[in-house]
Amino acid sequence: MTYAEFTATLSASAPPPGLSPLLRALWLEHHGRWAAAHDLAQQDETDPLSCWLHAYLHRREGDAGNAGYWYRRAGRGRFAGSEAEEWQALVWAVLGP
């Protein structure tokens, strides 16, 4: 799936079948379903991308301390851009090269 294909699914009322858990979480969070996205982010607390997603979700929630913890677990500093830019960066990272 490409970035354009993924973002095209955002106009649907439900996530498309076959999304990876992280893409599904990003889709759900985009639709305001924070808790469902958070549940998916917690599934692998050893994966750096899952930890980054977890950090982003707590940033969106407004919990800077918890976000900082998950950025450290992800091996990253706090994201310097906007929340929208971080969401995009996460999608690109999950999709890979």
pTM recorded for the entire structure: 0.94
Look at residue 97 in the predicted model and tell me its pLDDT.
Answer: 73
pLDDT at 27 over 80: yes
Mean pLDDT of the chain: 95
**What are the tens digits of pLDDT across the range 38-80?**
999 999 999 999 999 999 999 999 999 999 999 999 999 999 9
pLDDT value at residue 39: 96
> At a CB cut-off of 8 Å and minimum separation 6, what does 27 contact?
6, 9, 10, 15, 19
Contact 60, 32 (CB under 8 A): no
Cβ-count burial of 68 within 10 angstroms (0-12 exposed, 13-18 middle, 19+ buried)? middle
For the chain, domain boundaries: 30-97
pLDDT at 71: 97
